[in-house]
């Protein structure tokens, strides 16, 4: 190992570290800014609210990061978010226990992912189009079975508290899921093969990796995480709304992943980055709400932040690959 080679390696590492560190710095700066301009920001009730802003997109971002890495995207996850708690509620109404209801809801979510994956991989429809179709389909389905009205989330207060209604519980669920998904991405074959499939589909296939299995699996994973998030939110809010989630939560999740450094071109990304991305968006949302900024203005700010993050994503990514596009 020559000295010049080492510095080259260190340099490439430094750029990578910089890329993740810069988002952390942005998150901290925003946090400090809002804490200094608004006395209510650092109060316990607000920090709990903030954690509830961050948790849902952070969980769904775990799935979208896996999908983006393997070269796909799921636009329908926000509709699964709305569908899953209805499956749970109807199961309870039908006399099944809440535990069975939760399991059934997750199974139905996984099924949606299976359909998304099968149409994309086996019928070769781009996932952008596949999941745009299932987005409307599931939305209509949920509105039909709910007749368009919200219902009370079943179960007592204890179970609701466990699943996210109390304090930081929803955020703790998010941290647990982030930890597991980070481990899968960095330390399991599944994660490595997800990167391989997105980095070089032909190459991964030639090496004997079953790309269809990886992609379909990641669609199922994303849908399941969407369903789980929908259930957590239904417990937290106490009401199950057919219009909950939707494209808003989906775009926040994708934006979290991309702001966190996941490549839109596939082949690289980080789960921790997704959590940091969700934190940045959550702090912006919470901070501006406290400041009393108009919701329309807020959308412009979020839009601008996402654009800047996407531009940085593409260009910092190129820098990281040694100038190769």
Q: Write out the residues near another protein by the rule CB under 8 A.
A: 1-2, 5-6, 8-9, 12, 186-189, 192-193, 195-196, 198-200, 202-204, 206-209, 263, 267-268, 321-322, 324
- What the block records as the tokens of 169 is 């519980």
Residue 44 or 202 with smaller CB distance to another protein: 202
Instruction: Output the CA–CA distances (angstroms, integers) from residue 39 to 36, 172, 240, 241, 294, in the order listed.
Output: 7, 25, 33, 33, 19
Least distance between another protein and beta carbon 259 (Å): 19
Q: How far apart are CA 252 and CA 155, in angstroms?
A: 29
Closest separation in Å from C-beta 66 to another protein: 14
Which has the closest alpha carbon to 256: 178, 168, 154? 178
Which of 148, 203 has the CB closer to another protein?
Answer: 203
Name which of 154, 65, 61, 72 is nearest 105 in CA terms.
154
What is the spatial distance between Cα 254 and Cα 184, in angstroms, rounded to a whole number?
A: 19
Torsion sign (Cα): 295, 296, 297, 299: positive
Pick between residue 29 and residue 183 the one whose CB is nearest to another protein.
183
Supply the minimum distance, in Å, between the C-beta of residue 209 and another protein.
5
Cβ(281)–Cβ(60) below 8 Å = no
**Residue 62 CB, nearest approach to another protein (Å):** 19
Q: Whose Cβ is closer to another protein: residue 204's or residue 250's?
A: 204
Residue 30 CB partners (closer than 8 Å, separation 6+): 280, 283, 284, 287
Q: Which is nearer to another protein, 98 or 204 (CB)?
A: 204
Nearest distance from residue 6's CB to another protein, in Å?
Answer: 7
- Number of residues written out for the chain: 325
Both structure tokens of 167 = 């304090």
Q: Which two tokens stand for residue 47?
A: 């920090």
Nearer to another protein, 169 or 262 (CB): 262
Shortest reach from residue 5's CB to another protein, in Å: 3
Q: Which is nearer to another protein, 19 or 236 (CB)?
A: 19
Which residues contact residue 65 at a Cβ distance below 8 angstroms, ignoring those fewer than 6 apart? 181, 185, 257, 260, 262, 269, 270, 271, 273, 274
Nearest distance from C-beta of residue 14 to another protein, angstroms = 13
Nearest alpha-carbon partner for 272 in 264, 262, 285: 262
Give yes or no for a contact between 173 and 59, defined as CB atoms under 8 angstroms apart. Answer: yes
Minimum distance of another protein from residue 254's CB (angstroms):
19
Closest CB to another protein among 196 and 216?
196
């Amino acid at each position: 190992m020559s000295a010049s080679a080492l510095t080259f390696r260190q340099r490439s590492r430094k750029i990578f570290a910089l890329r993740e560190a810069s988002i952390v710095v942005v998150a901290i700066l925003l946090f400090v800014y809002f804490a200094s301009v608004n006395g209510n920001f650092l109060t316990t009730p607000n920090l709990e609210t903030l954690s509830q802003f961050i948790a849902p997109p952070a969980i769904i971002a775990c799935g979208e990061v896996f999908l983006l890495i393997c070269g796909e995207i799921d636009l329908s996850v926000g509709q699964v978010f709305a569908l899953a708690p209805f499956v749970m509620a109807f199961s309870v109404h039908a006399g099944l226990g809440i535990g069975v209801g939760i399991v059934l809801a997750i199974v139905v979510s996984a099924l949606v992912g299976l359909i998304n994956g099968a149409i994309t991989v086996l019928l070769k429809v781009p996932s952008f189009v596949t999941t745009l179709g299932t987005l409307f389909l599931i939305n209509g389905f949920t509105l039909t079975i709910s007749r368009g009205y919200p219902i009370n989330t079943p179960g007592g207060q204890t179970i609701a508290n466990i699943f996210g209604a109390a304090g930081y519980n929803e955020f703790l669920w998010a941290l647990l899921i982030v930890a597991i998904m980070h481990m899968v991405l960095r330390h399991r074959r599944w994660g490595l093969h997800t990167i391989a499939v997105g980095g070089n589909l032909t190459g991964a296939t030639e090496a004997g990796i079953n790309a269809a299995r990886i992609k379909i699996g990641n669609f199922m994973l994303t849908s399941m995480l969407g369903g789980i998030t929908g259930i957590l939110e239904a417990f937290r809010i106490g009401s199950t709304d057919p219009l909950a989630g939707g494209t808003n939560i989906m775009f926040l999740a994708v934006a979290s992943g991309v702001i966190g450094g996941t490549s839109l071109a596939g082949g690289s990304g980080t789960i921790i980055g997704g959590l940091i991305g969700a934190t940045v968006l959550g702090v912006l949302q919470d901070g501006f709400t406290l400041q009393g900024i108009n919701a329309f203005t807020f959308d412009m700010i979020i839009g601008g932040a996402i654009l800047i993050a996407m531009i940085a994503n593409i260009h910092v990514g190129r820098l990281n690959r040694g100038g190769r596009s």
